[in-house]
Structure 1
Amino acid sequence: MSAAQAIVQCLKRENIHKAFCVPGESYLPILDALFDEKTIDVISARHEGGAAFMAEGYAKATLKPGVVLATRAVGGSNLAIAVHTAFQDSTPMVVFLGQVSRQFQGREGFQEVNLEQYFSSIAKWAVEVKDPQRVPELVGRALYVARTGRPGPVVVSLPEDILSIRAPMQFGPIIPRPKPSPAKAELEHVKNLLSKAKRPLIIAGGGVKYAEAEEVLVHFAEKNVLPVVSSFRRHDIFPNDHYLYVGHLGLGTPTDILQTVKEADVILAFGTRLSEVTTQDYAIITPDKKLIHMDIDYSVIGKVFPPDIAIIADMKEGLMSLTKIDIRIMWDDWVKEKREAYEAVSRGTVSRKDVINRHIMTILQDLLPSDALITNDAGNFAGWLHTFYSFREKHTYIGPTSGAMGYGMPAALGAKLAFPNKVIVSLSGDGGFMMTVQELETAVRYSIPIICLVFNNNMYGTIRMHQEIHYPKKVIATDLGKISFKALAESMGVDGYQVDTPRAFEVAFRQALLKGKLAVIEILTEKEQISVNSTITSIRGGK
């Protein structure tokens, strides 16, 4: 078969059912082979960044590699933001990029760049296929690397001239994902350390999700009465309404929740790389705390904080093993106190004085089914979601730990393709939404019915906040022009709404839910309330 047909066969063997792309002449043979393969749907987007964000969101939802195709340097550059997101978010993804023909390389050919070198620092692996007969080996390895260990993106460069060459192809077996377990001595060390603890705390990250270990984590926490905080933008790995859930470590985390970490004497870090945001600039895990760090990737252990106990394990296997140990519990009162602290900052009564963003979280909580999935873009508007919305089931949240703008809506499209029967809602600011707004047309073309909430305050709000903190009143480059997102949506054939009160939002949202169609709800907000806890006036030193 041809090299292009072999690539498609590799995808089929791995049960890949969706591929996202912007078409390019450099990989037309692959598109032709995909035309003949009826088990794989091809979603053609308006921009490579949008296509790759869809693939990344799809991968987060399915826990299988997201596949995206684009052409040479220009397409690769456009989707680099999503490769970086997949790398920081530990999302399995395989990117196929058309490349200049082998005989033209090194001459600054049309749209030429060394793709292996270009992506080497933001991908788990970048490789160029130079021999057509090695396609099954290298593409099979790319899919394996993307989904094993700490998942991540792999970039495969495909010189245009190799794709139509026919050769005998040999396909090896699909390699199962390794699932290592803790050693007996490691379990004994954990038991000894926890037996001396007075205020232990679990920080749970994305590794729990990718191992599908949410229920095991709940069982382990319940057996040992251990409080749990979720790492940055991993809200749905533990039920937020559970009596052992005590908060989320992210941007603008309330002081009372940070205090929980400060008071802890033993930290159990499960499936988290203990990122800058989660650890509040690498500050909250102090030398006086004992650290038990369990992760499937040896390179994560000790990269930020040296642990007292290091365990390389699959999260499900590791947690099942840890559940078997028996520990004397001495921290019931502390757990209760910290749950009450979380509830105090996340479940206060909403009043008329609260800004519309706060009311919207209550409305979403009341109207959405518990298994609805929410995505968000980067921006201060997400602070209200992170603080006040309670995620009660697994696979109900997808957000970029990389902080990429333009992510929320295309990621929601990918999630909806993964879960067609779920209600999917994306949250974006006006700045981020405009970065990938063209993908609304993609959603129309493929009939992907999500509900997009756009918080419009006519500025890059997060940057304006930092600008006011460091350079008060010297506003430059952060104000944006007025756009009617309602009219923009309607021009693409999307149901559009514009609201500026909680009541108007509730009416529009109920209607969008009832109709079950693609919808954009534009929420007009004021610039003054720039974050959950700050106003522009207060940042400038006013009251």
Structure 2
Amino acid sequence: MERETAMTARESGRNAARVLVDQLVANGVRHVFTVPGESFLPVLDALRDSGITVTTCRQEGAAAMMAEAHGKATGLPGICFVTRGPGATNASAGLHVAQQDSTPMILFVGQVERRFRGREAFQELDYRAVFGPMAKWATEIDDPDRVPELVSRAFATATAGRPGPVVMALPKDVLGEFTDAPLAPPFVPVEAAPGADDVARLGDLIASAERPIVVLGGSRWTEQACADIARFAEAFDLPVATSYRRSPLFDALHPCYAGDLGLSPNPKLVRRVRDSDLVVLLGGRLGEIPSQGYGLLSIPGPQTRLVHIHAGPEEIGRVYQPFLAINAAPARTAAALARLAPPARIPWREETCAAHAEFLAWGETATPQPGGVNLGEVIVHLRRTLPRDAVLCNGAGNYAAWIHRFFRFRGFAGHIAPTSASMGYGLPAAVAMKRLWPERTVISLNGDGDFLMNGQEFATAVQYRLPIVVIVCDNASYGTIRMHQEREFPDRPIATDLHNPDFAAYARAFGGLGWTVERTEDFPAAFAEAQAAGRPAIIHLKISTDAITPGQTLTQIRDRALAGRA
């Protein structure tokens, strides 16, 4: 009987790799990102005729970041294929982003043949041991008949509760074996809804408050959910803040918007949250950065009434013990809140207006900066000229503080950036977004050290003719580390100076276009030319090393530290 089953499967031509790819198609996968490897050649062959768009990358870490960016933007698992050993460990950078950012993602990794396992065969790793601590689930497919079952489970796991990454190892010999296992039904994400009693109690808490504020964060949001939460805020006239790198969840020009709790936030917003008598935290975890070093609310018992609404029950009470805990996903919660009737008495209405005015004033005008290029004025120019649905992608570095302060995000998924603050993210994310949304304007903003961690992916943009504009902010330094050095060890810099290439020439070497800007007033023309070119382009901004934050220069930070030690 087993022999007859094997003959049937072989005659159908459906090896395990083909079944795996068919299961991806059944689950709505349209894009995958990869660096090819001989350990999963049957999968590559199956992808060739699948209808799935394949993006070939230059390094596995960048491929994983592209998949993570895709998952962050769509809410569906981003898919990445990498080879075993070095390919898998390279990809771990993107996997960590997915874990910290609560992004659904599936990383498929080649593995040695089953008969070689345990001998430390060529490039062998125990993927459960290596990736178990940084993934929601790490597993290995040992039986071709279980491919549909396990791939379906991977989709469900990656999207359930608090989303995150799944790692699935694919032994080379399993991929070539034949199976007649039927495909699993397409997965459907489970969206937990708040109970009617919880919604009513939340409404009562808001009605009895004097200084409430809503903080939006986390993942699992949709465009409709953002519209619902805006209707709720309008009806109740509530001030709404966004968490670190979640600004697109609420239109920056909406009269209820109070700003973002990210890098170098408006001190008035921080004070407003501390002084509030009701904080409604929807979707987010209020981690280290948005909580301002866990100083915004007292731990474990907040000094104010905290309502924590989160899709993952394990996150509620993990750090803060809420006054009201609601285990529900943002989309279902936002829909329920949009149906709530506002109270007759809204004593915080003037405070909401004041909060929005403070937000606008905080980022209206660029602060003075040393050097020929003022990054604040560059960001203000982008704010004024980019279309509402433009997508800005960035990685990690002090340059991002100017984005948070001076840009105003207005479109859903308009900011794709890692809350894990992973360097090298901005360019791969921009490639992924342009593959996903070719009609949208996509800008990649990078520091100099940040850019060169995955700068090779500019070649990927050129290969696929993706007209992204890449801005490299070159201050010849690992600026964030230099800033912390001057605070803790003033006037003793080490290991933070960088000797950089001509980034405009770098662009041209790959077949793109490049401009160098050494004066702020030259940026608008260079940017207009780059946008009109219809080809991948790099604008190289020469920025003073002293221009380290929107509010303080490096010299001021050092002098203050030296004065404190005198």
Q: Give the counterpart letter for 1:347 in structure 2.
A: E
Any conservation in 1 of the 2:257–2:356 contact (CA below 8 Å)?
A: yes
Match of 1:247 in 2: 259
Q: Tell whether the 8 Å contact from 1:356 to 1:500 is kept in structure 2 after alignment.
A: no
| Residue in structure 1 matched with residue 359 of structure 2 by the alignment | 342
Residue 332, structure 1, aligned to residue 362, structure 2 = no
TM-score w.r.t. length of structure 1: 0.97
Q: What is the rounded CA distance, in whole Å, between the counterparts of 2:477 and 2:368 in structure 1?
A: 26
Could you list the runs of 5+ residues in structure 2 that have no partner in the other structure? Answer: 1-13
- Amino acid in the other structure paired with 2:356: R
CA–CA distance in structure 2, aligned partners of residues 536 and 34 of structure 1:
51
Q: Tell me the equivalent position of 1:178.
A: 190
Give the counterpart letter for 2:380 in structure 1.
T
SS, match of residue 163 in structure 1: helix
Deviations 1:329-361 (A, max 9, x none): 221121122222212211136679795101101
Whether 2:216 is the aligned partner of 1:204: answer yes
Q: Which of 509, 514, 517 pairs up with 2:527?
A: 509
CA apart distance, 1:244: 0.6
2:31 aligned with 1:13: no
Deviations 1:31-88 (Å, cap 9, x if unpaired)? 0111122x11211111001111111122222322111111112111001010000111
Per the alignment, residue 538 of structure 1 pairs with 556
Report what 2:306 is aligned to.
Answer: 291
Letter in 1 for 2:339: K
Shift in Å, 1:112: 0.8
Residues 349 and 381 (structure 1 numbering): CA distance in 2 closer, same or farther, change over 3 Å? closer
Of 139, 150, 158 in structure 2, the residue corresponding to residue 138 of structure 1 is 150
1:408 aligned partner: 426
Residue in structure 2 matched with residue 154 of structure 1 by the alignment: 166
TM-score, normalisation: structure 2: 0.93
The letter for the 2-side match of 1:323 is A
1:307 is aligned to 322
> 1:233, 1:401 within 8 Å by CA — same for their partners in 2?
yes
Is the 8 Å Cα contact of residues 73 and 115 (structure 1) preserved in structure 2? Answer: no
Task: List per-residue Cα deviations over 1:285-317 (Å, max 9, x = no partner).
Answer: 233210011111111111111111111112122
Task: Give the CA deviation at 1:148.
Answer: 2.7
Give 1:22's aligned residue. 35
Q: Tell me the equivalent position of 2:118.
A: 106
Larger deviation, residues 92-101 vs 343-352: 343-352
* 3-state SS, counterpart of residue 435 of structure 1: coil
The amino acid of 2:523's aligned partner reads F
Amino acid at match of 1:201: I
In 2, Cα distance between equivalents of 1:469 and 1:139: 49
Equivalent of 1:163, from 164, 171, 175?
A: 175
Out of 515, 535, 550, the position equivalent to 1:497 is: 515
- 1:456-488, CA deviations, whole angstroms, 9 ceiling, x for partnerless residues? 011100010001100001111111113111111
For 2:348, the aligned partner's letter is W
- Of 14-23 and 176-185, deviating more is 176-185
2:9 match: none
CA distance in 2, matches of 1:254, 1:337: 13
**CA–CA distance in 1 between the matches of 2:235 and 2:220?**
18
Identity percentage of aligned residues: 39
The alpha carbon displacement at 1:400 in A equals 0.4
> How far apart are the structure 2 equivalents of 1:316 and 1:411?
24
The residue type equivalent to 2:272 in the other structure is: T
Shift of 1:208: 5.8
Match of 1:61 among 55, 73, 76: 73
> Aligned partners of 2:454 and 2:339: how far apart in 1?
48
Match of 2:408 among 384, 390, 395: 390
| Counterpart contact for 2:21–2:43, Cα < 8 Å | yes
Q: Give the match for residue 57 of structure 2.
A: 45
CA distance 1:163–1:408, change in 2 (3 Å): same
Aligned to 1:272: 284
> Is 88-97 or 352-361 further displaced after alignment?
352-361
* Alignment partners' CA distance in 2, 1:208 and 1:179: 9
Three-state SS of the structure 1 residue aligned to 2:392 is strand
Q: Which of these residues, 33, 36, 41, is aligned with residue 49 of structure 2?
A: 36
Change (3 A) 1:245 1:210: same
Tell me the residue number matched to 2:130.
Answer: 118
1:361 pairs with one of 379, 382, 388: 379
**What residue ranges of structure 1 are gaps of 5+ in the alignment?**
none
Partner SS, residue 177 of structure 1: coil
SS at match of 1:395: coil
Give yes or no for contact 2:23–2:148 (8 Å, CA) kept in 1.
yes
The answer (yes or no) to whether the contact 2:222–2:331 under 8 Å persists in 1 is: no
Task: Check the 8 A contact 2:111/2:172 in 1, yes or no.
Answer: yes
Distance 2:187 2:505 in 1: 50
* 1:282/1:350 CA distance change after superposition, 3 Å: closer
**Shift in Å, 1:371:** 1.0
Q: Write the distance in 2 (CA, Å) between the matches of 1:349 and 1:64.
A: 37
2:331 is matched with 316
> In 1, distance between residues paired with 2:374 and 2:295?
33
Q: Which range is displaced more, 301-310 or 143-152?
A: 143-152
| Equivalent residues, number | 542
- CA distance in 2 between counterparts of 1:195 and 1:215 reads 22
Of residues 317-326 and 141-150 in structure 1, the stretch that sits farther from structure 2 once superposed is 317-326
Partner amino acid, structure 1, of 2:531:
L
| Paired letter, 1:213 | A
Q: How does 1:471-490 map to 2 (within 5 A)?
A: 471-490=489-508
Structure 1 partner of 2:537: 519
Whole-Å separation in 2 of the counterparts to 1:128 and 1:396: 36
Q: Check whether the contact 1:461–1:478 (CA below 8 A) recurs between aligned residues.
A: yes
